[in-house]
């Protein structure tokens, strides 16, 4: 076993996939579970990768936010089809502070802020026209004004304790490397597919 930091590898794999033309290399499947163990997964966009973990944003009223408030364990799968690669991250998710949320909110374009204000996670609507009308109203209300952070806007950071890199072998063996966070260090080992 050797000690290294695997976050750079994730970033490199994403960049390599983008260079091949991928438009979805920043999207991951996030699986969460409720307190009673019901599992649910969905796609989220990776906002940032740092030495602390993988950051994503959502709405406080979403199912994922509810699951994470009950059970902070989660798993992310990054599927990079152009290179036939997969990264699986298992760990615990922590919510960002309101100050951190505010800081990220302010980096969004006005258009994205307005779009986020328009959303009301999971609320039934008749058509996209409902959203267009709500967007237009908000745009008018906040013309030339600072757009306040949607109180539902919230960020989470997946802090992994296990990361699994898989490259599918087309005409050769698949390659698998596993990183486990043990005693404050990342341990790397090659494992059999």
56 binds ligand FMN (CB under 6 A): yes
120 binds ligand FMN (CB under 6 A): no
Nearer to ligand FMN, 57 or 164 (CB): 57
58 binds ligand FMN (CB under 6 A): yes
Q: Interaction with ligand FMN in 63-92: which residues (CB under 6 A)? A: 63-64
Write out the E strands in 34-84: 39-45, 48-50, 53-59, 73-80
Measured from the CB of residue 16, what is the shortest distance to ligand FMN in angstroms?
Answer: 19
HSE (side-chain half, CA atoms, 13 Å) at 128: 1
Computed on alpha carbons and rounded to an integer, the radius of gyration of the chain in Å comes to 19
Which of residues 10, 25, 31, 44 is near ligand FMN by CB under 6 A? 44
Q: Which stretch binds ligand FMN (CB under 6 A): 53-61, 128-136, 154-162, 176-184?
A: 53-61
How many chain residues are in contact with ligand FMN, going by CB under 6 A?
12
Residue 9 backbone phi and psi in degrees, to 5: -65, -40
57 binds ligand FMN (CB under 6 A): yes
CB neighbours (10 Å) of residue 158?
24
Largest CA distance in the chain: 60
- Element containing residue 159 per DSSP (H, E): strand 153-167
Measured from the CB of residue 75, what is the shortest distance to ligand FMN in angstroms?
Answer: 14
Whether 187 contacts 179, CB under 8 Å: yes
43 binds ligand FMN (CB under 6 A): yes
166 binds ligand FMN (CB under 6 A): no
Whether 189 contacts 164, CB under 8 Å: no
Measured from the CB of residue 180, what is the shortest distance to ligand FMN in angstroms?
Answer: 27
Residue whose CB is nearest to ligand FMN in the complex, by number:
58
Burial of residue 8, with CB atoms counted within 10 A of its CB: 0-12 exposed, 13-18 middle, 19 or more buried: exposed
Q: Which stretch binds ligand FMN (CB under 6 A): 7-15, 56-64, 109-117, 149-157?
A: 56-64
Query: Which parts of this chain interact with ligand FMN (CB under 6 A)?
Result: 27, 40, 42-45, 56-58, 62-64
């Amino acid at each position: 076993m050797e000690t290294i930091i695997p976050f750079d590898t994730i970033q490199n794999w994403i960049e390599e996939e983008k260079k091949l033309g991928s438009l979805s290399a920043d999207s991951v499947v996030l699986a969460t579970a409720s307190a009673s163990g019901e599992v649910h997964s969905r796609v989220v966009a990776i906002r940032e990768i740092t030495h602390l973990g993988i950051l994503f944003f959502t709405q406080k009223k979403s199912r994922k936010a509810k699951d994470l408030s009950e059970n902070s364990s989660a798993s992310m799968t990054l599927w990079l089809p152009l290179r036939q690669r997969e990264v699986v991250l298992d760990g615990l998710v922590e919510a960002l502070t309101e100050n951190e949320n505010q800081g990220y909110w302010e980096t969004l374009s006005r258009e994205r802020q307005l779009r986020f204000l328009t959303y009301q996670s999971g609320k039934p609507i008749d058509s996209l026209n409902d959203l267009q009308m709500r967007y237009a109203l908000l745009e008018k209300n906040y013309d030339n004004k600072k757009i306040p952070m949607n109180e539902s806007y919230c960020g989470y950071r997946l802090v992994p304790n296990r990361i699994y890199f898989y490259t599918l072998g087309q005409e050769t063996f698949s390659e698998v490397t596993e990183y486990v966070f043990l005693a404050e260090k990342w341990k790397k080992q090659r494992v059999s597919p």
